[in-house]
A = this chain, B = another copy of it.
C-alpha cells in the first residue's frame, strides 16, 4: 500500500493528475493493473488519497513557517513568511498544488476525509490574524459592513468563540476580511503557475510579495517589504 502511494505520487509529480493512469502506476510496480484494485477502489479513490496527502503537506509547510518565527515576532512578517513557504511548496510540486487548488477532478466530490486536512491552511491564517488582533499590531482597515452571515459559525468556534453573538463586531469583520488572505494567496500562486502573469510581470517572486502585502494591508496587517 505504501509502495502504491509512493508510485502514484511519483507519477503525479512527473505527469500531472489528468495523466495519472492506474495502469501506468501498476506497470511501475511491476504488477497487473487489476491487482491494484485490491488496494484501492478506483482511480478517483487513489486521487483522493493523494489529495489528502497534498493538503497535509502544504498545511504542514505553512504551520512550520509560522512556528519557525520566534514568539513575539510581528504577525504581519509571519504571514509573509507563511505565504512564501506555501509558494515554495507549490513551485516544488506544482501538480500537487493543481490537484488541490486547481480544477477539481471528475467524479470527485470532496468527501469529509479531506476537509480536516484542508482546514489546516485556514488555521494558520486565522492564527496569524488573531495574533495580530491580540497584540495590537492589526490596525483595522478594509471595508465596513454588517458582519452577520458573512462567515460560518464554525469559523468562530475554530478560534474558541463558542457564541457567535458575543463576538465583537470589529473582530467579526476582521475574520471575514481574512478570507482575502486565503483567496489572494491561492490566487497569486495559481496565476503564476497557470500562466496568467505572462506579459504582466517578469520576476514573479517580487510581484508575489507585493500581492501578499497588498492583500494584507486591506485586512490591516502591515507587511514590510525590503
Contacts and interface: CB of A to CB of B under 8 A. Distances in A.
Of A142, A182, A184, A203, the most chain B CB neighbours within 10 A belong to A184
Nearest to A108: B195
A199 interface: yes
Interface stretch (A24-32, A62-70, A210-218): A210-218
Contacts of A219: 214, 218
Given A184-B215, A211-B183, A103 B98 contact: yes
Contact of A199 (B18, B152, B201, B217): B152
B217 A176 contact: no
Copies in the complex: 2
Nearest to A185: B187
A73 interface: no
Given A141-B217, A216-B218, A104 B194 contact: yes
Interface residues of A, number: 66
Given A118-B196, A142-B214, A183-B191, A207 B151 contact: yes
Of A118, A216, A217, A223, the most chain B CB neighbours within 10 A belong to A217
A166 interface: no
Contacts of A184: 180, 183-184, 187, 215
Contact of A143 (B101, B102, B197, B217): B217
A154 B199 contact: yes
A210 B19 contact: no
A198 B103 contact: no
10 contacts: A18-B103, A115-B198, A143-B223, A149-B203, A152-B202, A176-B207, A180-B210, A183-B183, A184-B187, A215-B215
Contacts of A197: 179
A224 interface: yes
A144 B225 contact: yes
A48 interface: no
